[in-house]
Amino acid sequence: MDNRLLNIVDETGVVAGTETREKIHREGLLHRIVHVWFYTPDKQLIFHRRGQKAETFPNRLDATIGGYVEIGSDYLQTAVTETREETGVVVRLEDMVLIGERKPEKAFRDPVTGTLNRHLKAIFAYRFTGDIKDLKAQEGEDVTIRFEAVPIDRVLSLAREEIEKEFILSQFERGYFDIFQKLK
């Protein structure tokens, strides 16, 4: 059971209270998260493969970085903090480029765990010029997490069956191809 607390928010992002992460995912309560997409000068997106023990969507390819907006934090600070924690890369606030915000339509049910995920999401981009081998998964995270580079053109041409097999499907819903095109 995950008793760590997060803010729950209304549809406009105004904090409406706090609740445990466990209850948030059991009931599909609205909360805030960030995603950071690393893209490379040679037009690749860097995904991370979620660990086998991930709370939601285990073993699926996901945004380079994802994280909950902790109580008292905001989207931008969370993006910078999560980037350092999840990859070892130290970035400045001005290194992050806000490329989109996503409002929820409904909760997504994880087909493996049955948990519900419903969130407001800020999406940032970061131009990564380092070596993917130097990215380090967050200490304490499932050790099977690894980073994988995929050419943006390949991402843009994936068939639905390929997406459903390897990726978190919500990464390819409602406008994400526009975001990936921007990063290209």
101 closest CA partner among 2, 11, 20: 11
pLDDT above 70: percentage of residues in the chain: 93
Domain boundaries, the chain: 5-183
Residue 38 or 57, more confident: 38
**Mean pLDDT, range 75-100, rounded to an integer:** 95
User: Is the distance from CB of 171 to CB of 178 less than 8 angstroms?
Assistant: no
**What's the rounded mean pLDDT across residues 94-104?**
90
Q: What whole-number distance in Å separates Cα of residue 37 and Cα of residue 66? A: 9
Q: Indicate whether 122 pLDDT > 70.
A: yes
Hey, what amino acid is at 92? Answer: R
CATH code: domain 5-183 is 3.90.79.10
Does 139 score more than 70 pLDDT?
Answer: no
pLDDT range class, residue 106, cuts 50, 70, 90: confident
